[in-house]
A and B are shown apart, each in its own frame.
Chain A
Amino acid sequence: MKHLKPVNQKAHRIADVVAKQQGPPGGQPHFPLGCALVFSPGWEADSTGGTAGLCQPVERDLFDCHTGCFWPAQVPDQLNHAADWTSKCAAAQKDWRNIDLVFP
């Protein structure tokens, strides 16, 4: 634990457990893996039948495929081969064109 200092007896016991559980720092994904953890509202259409009025931009869908592995086969493998595939795409709605093809 980096920023938490145990104070009561229970906290000391937890700190011991956490210290044992944690491996070396770094190299851990910042996003929960596995589809079951991701709630996606869906991107089909807004009330007018278009995509302009959705609560999140339709381009955001790329990230559902990419990091949440909603459609894992259709996008590059962000864990092994293309970790920086979306690095030039800070805001999907405006930067989605920066996402390029990946050649293994």
Chain B
Amino acid sequence: MIHRFNASGRNFVYHSDTAAIFELDEALTDAEIGAELASPESPGRQLPPAGFPLTTLVLNVTNQCNLSCTYCYEYGEDKIVDTENGAQPKFMSEQTARESVDFLLAEAGNNEMVHLTFFGGETLLNFPILKSTIAYGRRRAAETGKHIDFSLTTNATLLRPEIVAWLIDNQVGVTISIDGPREMQDQFRVFKNGTGSYDIVAPKIRDLLRQHTARPIGARVTLTSQTLDVKRIFRHLTEDIGFAEVGFAPVTTASIREYAISDGGFDKMLAQFQELAWEFCETVIAGRHHGFSNVKDTLEEIHKGVSKAYPCGAGLGLMGVSTSGDVALCHRFAGSDDHKLGSVTAGVDRLVQISLLEKHHIDNKTDCTQCWARPMCSGGCYHEAHTRYGDTGHANLHYCEWIRAWTDTCLQIYGELSVRRPDFLNNRISAPQMEAVS
């Protein structure tokens, strides 16, 4: 399938079968393009090789949180795991955390580099475990001849000077969940008594950003129907707070919730994303940094020509560990018995893993067969699909139009940069980046 786009006054095609991008020097029909490419027949559906190495392990070090964000997929109306009265312990033990490190190193196969990410609940509620696990992880990685890298996601409420110092000393990558200026942050990100968290977190984040400069600290924004002012949020977080990178994601929720983004909301979000994306393009061409990470991440995939059989690495190169040590598809399913892949002590149940890989393969998503944006989207997030349709293997049909329009915009920007700043694509975009866990 061929998707055409124009950039910088030139004609380009995105070839969906291969995710390759070509510039056309004259008007060709789809058939003529196909003939020039002489595409070999598709090898058909192939599962990843057995024993696919693990790259990233996400540890839910606690399922408790000191905030009560109304939209939260972990505590809100759409939660999967009962974290209050369920079987899962509220905090991960030191023993389980160590076993998780050993599991990661063992499952990493020949991978020399592995990532350990701490997640929650509110990650910093279990700070003692973070400290001991990082020390243990470094020692074990050295013994096994691997490099290990650490990151965490936090709501920033519990940051204090000694934690900041520790983050810097250990070069821990940090992603902060924050929704924007005070009135937007305080709309959903509230304490249990309903008080907003903005005034608590803003000074702490500024402190962190001022001191922790070794690794870029990203802001991760959840967009809802009531906080959909993307540009204003971006300006506030970059200019007023000082974040180098800001990434946005629409709230994961059943469509009936008041905060769910409607079709009209998706249009509004798209228009603002497009405006920011073109601003990114012009800024980069002028040789300066722009922190809109959604466009940067997409450009990186476009540049490589990523063609995905699966929307993400969940259950493959990335897994989530619950507080009890159960291993799940990803951190969003950690603790759910229905999405359990094994445990850090018993290892991965290969039969369960294979059946999930069979089920989630893009070739099983008939809704996606006629879509040109398939190589980049691959049906979208399993957790989103589970929340919307009750089935992790369902394509996320509620945002197809959005994904196609956004991908088309990113392709145009890619074309523009390929003409005007090819050095940016070759040098800046190709560098491997760590995905923020949210």
Q: Which residues of A contact B37 (CB under 8 A)?
A: 1, 4, 14, 18
Q: Which of B18-26, B44-52, B77-85, B142-150 contacts A (4 or more CB under 8 A)?
A: B18-26
Residues A11 and B26 in contact in the complex (CB < 8 Å), given A1-B36, A4-B33: no
B294 within 8 A of A: no
Q: Scoring B residues 287 to 303 as 1 if CB is less than 8 Å from chain A, else 0, what string do you get?
A: 00000000000000011
A47 within 8 A of B: no
Chain B residues within 8 Å of A21, by CB: 38
Q: Are A3 and B414 in contact (CB under 8 A)?
A: no
A98 CB to nearest B CB, Å:
28
B26 contact set on A, CB distance < 8 A = 3
The answer to whether B305 and A5 touch across the interface, beta carbons within 8 angstroms, is no
Q: Which of chain B's residues have a CB closer than 8 A to the CB of A8? A: 19-21, 302-305, 414, 418
- Contact (Cβ within 8 A) B23 A5: yes
**B153 CB within 8 Å of chain A:** no
Interface status of B12 (Cβ within 8 A of chain A) = yes
Chain A residues contacting B137 (CB-CB under 8 Å) are none
For the complex formed, measure the closest distance between the CB of B425 and the CB atoms of chain A, giving whole angstroms.
8
Task: Please give, as numbers and ranges, the residues of chain B lying within 8 Å of A13 by CB-CB distance.
Answer: 20, 305
The answer to the question of B320 belonging to the interface, with a C-beta cut-off of 8 Å to chain A, is no
Q: Are A10 and B38 in contact (CB under 8 A)?
A: no
User: By the criterion CB–CB under 8 Å, are A7 and B28 in contact?
Assistant: no
Whole-angstrom CA separation of A11 from B307 in the bound complex: 12
A9 touches B22 (CB 8 A): no
- For A3, the chain B residues whose CB sits under 8 A away are 24-26, 28, 32, 36
CB-based contact A22/B38 at 8 Å: yes
Question: Do B36 and A7 touch across chains, with their CB atoms under 8 A apart?
Answer: no
Q: Which residues of B contact A7 (CB under 8 A)?
A: 12, 21-23, 414-415, 418
Q: Which of B20, B33, B303 has the most CB of A within 10 A?
A: B20
- In the complex, whether A97 has a CB less than 8 A from a CB of chain B is no
Q: Which residues of chain B have C-beta atoms less than 8 A from A1's C-beta?
A: 22, 36-37
A6:B20 contact, CB within 8 angstroms: yes
Judge if A2 is at the interface, Cβ distance under 8 Å: yes
Which A residues touch B307, using CB under 8 A?
10
Cross-chain contact B24 with A4 (CB below 8 angstroms): yes
- In the assembled complex, how far is the CB of residue A17 from the closest CB belonging to chain B, in whole angstroms? 8
Write the nearest CB–CB distance from B25 to chain A, whole angstroms.
5
B23 touches A14 (CB 8 A): no
Contacts of A11 on B, CB cut-off 8 Å?
15, 18, 20-22, 305
What is the CA–CA distance of A103 and B178 in the complex, to the nearest angstrom? Answer: 84
Contact assessment for B305 and A10 in the assembled complex, using a CB-CB cutoff below 8 Å: yes
Chain A residues near B25: list those with CB within 8 A.
3, 5
What separation, in Å, do the CA atoms of A6 and B18 have in the docked complex?
A: 12
Bound complex: CA A2 to CA B24 (Å): 9
Q: How far is the CA of A15 from the CA of B267 in the complex (A)?
A: 37
Determine the residue in chain B with the shortest Cβ distance to A10: B305
CB B95 to nearest CB in A, in angstroms, measures 44
Per the bound structure, the CA–CA distance linking A10 and B301 in Å amounts to 10
User: By the criterion CB–CB under 8 Å, are B415 and A14 in contact?
Assistant: no
Contacts of B303 in A (CB 8 A): 8-9
CA distance A2 to B26 in the complex (A): 10
Chain A residues with CB below 8 A from B38, complex form = 18, 21-22
Q: Mark A1-44, 1 if CB is under 8 A from B, else 0.
A: 11111111111011000100110000000000000000000000
Known: A9-B304, A14-B37. A4 touches B19 (CB 8 A): no
Which chain B residues lie closer than 8 Å to A22 at the CB level? 38
| Contacting pair B12 A14 (CB below 8 A) | no
> Closest CB-CB distance, B226 to chain A, in whole Å?
38
Residues of A within 8 A of B418 (CB): 7-8
Q: Chain A residues near B22: list those with CB within 8 A.
A: 1, 4-7, 11
Q: How far is the CA of A7 from the CA of B18 in the complex (A)?
A: 13
A21 to B41, CA, bound (A): 14
Residues of A within 8 A of B305 (CB): 8-11, 13
Find A10's partner among B12, B13, B20, B23 (CB 8 Å cutoff).
B20
With A5-B23, A8-B21, A10-B21 known, 10 other A-B pairs at CB within 8 A are A1-B37, A4-B24, A4-B36, A5-B25, A6-B22, A8-B302, A8-B418, A10-B20, A10-B307, A14-B20
Please name 27 pairs of A and B residues whose Cβ atoms are closer than 8 Å in the assembled complex, sorted by A.
Answer: A1-B36, A1-B37, A3-B24, A3-B25, A3-B28, A3-B36, A4-B13, A4-B23, A4-B24, A4-B37, A5-B23, A6-B21, A7-B23, A7-B414, A7-B418, A8-B20, A8-B303, A8-B304, A9-B303, A9-B304, A10-B21, A11-B15, A11-B21, A14-B18, A14-B37, A18-B36, A18-B37
Of all A-B residue pairs in the complex, the 6 with the closest CB atoms, nearest first, are: A10-B305, A11-B20, A4-B22, A5-B23, A7-B21, A10-B20
Using a CB–CB distance below 8 Å, which chain B residues touch chain A? 12-13, 15, 18-26, 28, 32-33, 36-38, 302-305, 307, 414-415, 418
